[in-house]
């Protein structure tokens, strides 16, 4: 499977909606388990989640930068818990 086919299937499954903020524009497919360290999961649809470009950036630059190891689904789940916790402060996250 190619990256483009994988991306299309992930976005279709998620109804072309960011799974963090609900936006429907500037969508990207994020690998829950990173491609480099988990090549066998690279094109598994259940290893993807649809994010808008802003939520994807927040995850990789503002959250993930604190970790030096590989990115996993558990890191992303923790990120979602933090987002839920501070949802009343959306302006702080610039989402």
The reported pLDDT for the residue numbered 94 is 54
What tens digit of pLDDT does each residue of 5-58 get?
Answer: 999 999 999 999 999 889 999 999 999 888 888 899 999 999 999 999 998 888
Answer yes or no: is pLDDT of 89 > 60. no
Task: Give the number of residues written for the chain.
Answer: 95
The answer to whether the CB of 6 falls within 8 A of the CB of 48 is yes
Q: Any bridge partners for residue 67, and if so which?
A: none
What tens digit of pLDDT does each residue of 46-84 get?
Answer: 999 999 999 888 887 776 666 556 677 777 787 777 777
φ, ψ of residue 53 in degrees (nearest 5) = -60, -35
The answer to whether the CB of 36 falls within 8 A of the CB of 42 is no
């Amino acid at each position: 499977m190619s990256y483009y086919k994988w991306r299309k299937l992930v976005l279709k499954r998620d109804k072309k909606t960011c799974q963090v903020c609900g936006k429907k524009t500037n969508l990207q497919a994020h690998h829950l388990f990173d491609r480099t360290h988990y090549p066998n999961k690279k094109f598994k649809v259940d290893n993807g989640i649809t994010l808008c470009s802003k939520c994807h950036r927040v995850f990789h630059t503002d959250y993930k930068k604190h970790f030096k190891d590989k990115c996993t689904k558990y890191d992303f789940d923790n990120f979602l818990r933090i987002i839920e916790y501070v949802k009343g402060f959306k302006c702080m996250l610039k989402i």
